[in-house]
Chains A and B, each alone.
Chain A
Amino acid sequence: MKLSDIVEKLSLEVKTCKAGLENEVKGAYVSDLLSDVMGNSKDGDVWVTLQTHYNIIAVAGLKNLAGIIIVGNRPVQDEILQKAESENVTILVTSLTAFETAGKLYQLLK
Chain B
Amino acid sequence: MTLKEISRLLNASVINDSTDIEMDIQSACSADMMSTVMYYHSANSLLITSLTQPSVIRTAEMAGIKAIVFVLNKKPDANLIELAGLKNIPLLSTPFCMYTASGTLFEAGMPSCFGK
Please list the residues of chain A having a beta carbon within 8 angstroms of any beta carbon in chain B. 27-33, 36, 40, 48, 50-51, 72-73, 95-100, 102-107, 110
- Bound together, the chains give a CA A33 to CA B72 distance in angstroms of 13
Further contacts, 11 of them, CB under 8 A, given A29-B99, A48-B99:
A31-B32, A31-B97, A36-B32, A73-B116, A95-B116, A98-B29, A98-B31, A100-B106, A100-B112, A102-B102, A106-B99
Please, which residues of chain B bring their CB within 8 A of the CB of A30?
30, 97-99, 102
> Would A105 and B103 count as touching, CB distance under 8 A?
yes
Number of A-B contacts (CB under 8 A): 91
Q: Tell whether, in the assembled complex, residue B99 and residue A33 are in contact, meaning their CB atoms are under 8 Å apart.
A: no
**In the complex, what residue of chain A is closest to B28 when comparing beta carbons?**
A99
Instruction: Provide a sorted-by-A list of 15 A–B residue pairs whose CB atoms are within 8 angstroms.
Output: A31-B97, A40-B72, A72-B36, A72-B116, A96-B112, A97-B40, A98-B102, A99-B106, A99-B110, A99-B112, A99-B113, A100-B112, A102-B102, A103-B112, A104-B106
B98-A31 in contact (CB<8A): yes
Which residues of chain B in 69-116 are interfacial with respect to chain A, using CB atoms and an 8 Å cutoff? 72, 97-100, 102-107, 110, 112-116
Residues in chain B near residue A48, CB distance under 8 A: 99
Q: How many residues of B contact A (CB 8 A)?
A: 28
- Which residues of the partner chain B approach A29 to less than 8 Å between Cβ atoms? 97-99
Asked whether A99 and B30 contact (CB < 8 A) given A73-B116, A104-B106, A106-B104, the answer is yes
What 1/0 flags go to B42-77 for Cβ under 8 Å of A? 000000101100000000000000000000100000
